[in-house]
């Protein structure tokens, strides 16, 4: 164990002497958070700075023209992953920071001749569990599903941000548009997995330690995509995802958040995590174990234009299977399983 922790004025400070391995894990978590939180701002400001203040003005302008007009369709047609970046040893430190573990139910095997739609829950503040389990090459997903190529999904607008969009493409992320997902799921020969965090960023609104509240009741677009391509839906659940962050709450803040959500589609959340040298507050995620579990695939027929009734039928079946997965596995991975229930809104 580590050296004695000091607490002063209610703030729990980190021990002075911590193994280098853990310090590198913390640094990896901070670097990942910087990309997630500041990627858009830094990428935009860097481009403006290069154009206004440096001799790289025309190089930057040509780059912007290229990503906005020439390369703009790449995220819609399978992306452009970089094996070196996806398999960088740096991701191992991020995975081990929490740590994140990857599991599948016994007997779950993916047909190498089929494509699959992995439907992941919950979003949490950021979908850390599914990212560390499936999006990077330091993951058990390679061992469990060696015959499938994994494509993570993120908001389409992210691919218009200079520089950060190239990091996302290198990690194998693609656009969340229906066209982009259809492209992966309809590829002949199978061997592809599209990972969709169904609840979206709006689900972060419900993120509280020990709370599993999912934005799913009216989310049915993923079912239509699966039916249109005849692609099995696979429930995926990350236990512990909501424990790494808390958030500041209050009626006045909630009203402001609702207004921002209506205006820009994004919920501004005041994070409660930890800091570099103390554990009581900050933006870094807390060290809490996350276990991402892959459930049984749900086969669906291929229907080019499914009716509302058919979509509702398979949507209800998916909710049943997801609930079964949660109820069965929560006793293995949650501290208070009897007190923790799945809430679907």
Q: What is the DSSP string of 143-168?
A: HH-TT-EEEEEE-GGGGGSTTHHHHH
CA distances from 326 to 204, 260, 298 (A): 19, 32, 16
pLDDT of 9 reads 67
Asked if 43 and 161 count as a contact pair (C-beta separation under 8 A), the reply is yes
Beta pairing, strands 212-214 & 342-344: parallel
More confident site: 320 or 1: 320
The Cβ of residue 333 has, within 10 Å, a number of other Cβ atoms equal to 18
Percent of the chain at pLDDT > 90 equals: 72
CA distances from 265 to 7, 202, 283 (A): 40, 8, 22
The candidate with the shortest Cα–Cα distance to 334, out of 66, 122, 42, is: 122
pLDDT of 280 reads 86
More confident site: 199 or 3: 199
**249-281 confidence digits (pLDDT tens):** 888 887 887 777 667 656 678 889 999 888 888
Question: Hey, which residues does 213 pair with through a beta bridge?
Answer: 343
**157-204 confidence digits (pLDDT tens):** 999 999 999 999 999 999 999 999 999 999 999 999 999 999 988 898
Domains contained in the chain, CATH given: 19-344 (3.40.1130)
The candidate with the shortest Cα–Cα distance to 102, out of 91, 112, 113, is: 91
- In the predicted structure, residue 1 carries a pLDDT above the cut 80: no
**51-78 confidence digits (pLDDT tens):** 999 999 999 999 999 999 999 999 999 9
- In the predicted structure, residue 246 carries a pLDDT above the cut 90: yes
């Amino acid at each position: 164990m580590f050296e004695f922790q000091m607490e002063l004025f209610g703030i729990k400070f980190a021990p002075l002497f911590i193994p280098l391995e853990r310090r590198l894990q913390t640094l990896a978590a901070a670097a990942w958070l910087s990309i997630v939180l500041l990627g858009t701002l830094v990428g935009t400001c860097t481009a403006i700075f290069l154009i206004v203040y440096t001799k790289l003005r025309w190089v930057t302008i040509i780059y912007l023209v290229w990503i906005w007009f020439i390369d703009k369709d790449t995220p819609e047609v399978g992306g452009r992953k970089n094996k070196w970046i996806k398999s960088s040893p740096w991701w191992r430190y991020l995975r081990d920071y929490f740590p994140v573990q990857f599991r599948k139910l016994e007997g779950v095997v993916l047909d190498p001749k089929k494509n699959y739609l992995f439907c992941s829950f919950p979003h949490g503040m950021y979908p850390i569990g599914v990212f560390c389990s499936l999006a990077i090459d330091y993951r058990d997903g390679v061992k469990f599903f060696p015959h499938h190529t994994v494509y993570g999904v993120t908001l389409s607008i992210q691919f218009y941000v200079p520089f950060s969009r190239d990091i996302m493409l290198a990690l194998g992320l693609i656009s969340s548009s229906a066209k982009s997902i259809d492209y992966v799921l309809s590829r002949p020969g199978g061997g592809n997995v599209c990972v969709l965090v169904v609840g979206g960023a709006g689900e972060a609104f419900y993120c509280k330690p020990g709370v599993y509240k999912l934005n799913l009741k009216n989310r049915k677009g993923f079912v239509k995509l699966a039916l249109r391509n005849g692609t099995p839906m696979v429930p995926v659940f990350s236990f512990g995802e909501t424990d790494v962050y808390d958030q500041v709450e209050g009626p006045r803040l909630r009203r402001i958040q609702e207004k921002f959500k209506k205006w820009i589609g994004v919920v501004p959340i005041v994070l409660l995590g930890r800091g570099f040298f103390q554990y009581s507050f900050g933006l870094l995620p807390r060290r809490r174990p996350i276990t991402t579990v892959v459930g049984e695939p749900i086969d669906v027929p291929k229907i080019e234009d499914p009716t509302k009734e058919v979509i509702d039928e398979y949507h209800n079946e998916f909710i049943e299977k997801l609930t079964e997965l949660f109820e069965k596995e929560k006793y293995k991975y949650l501290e208070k399983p009897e007190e923790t229930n799945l809430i679907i809104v």
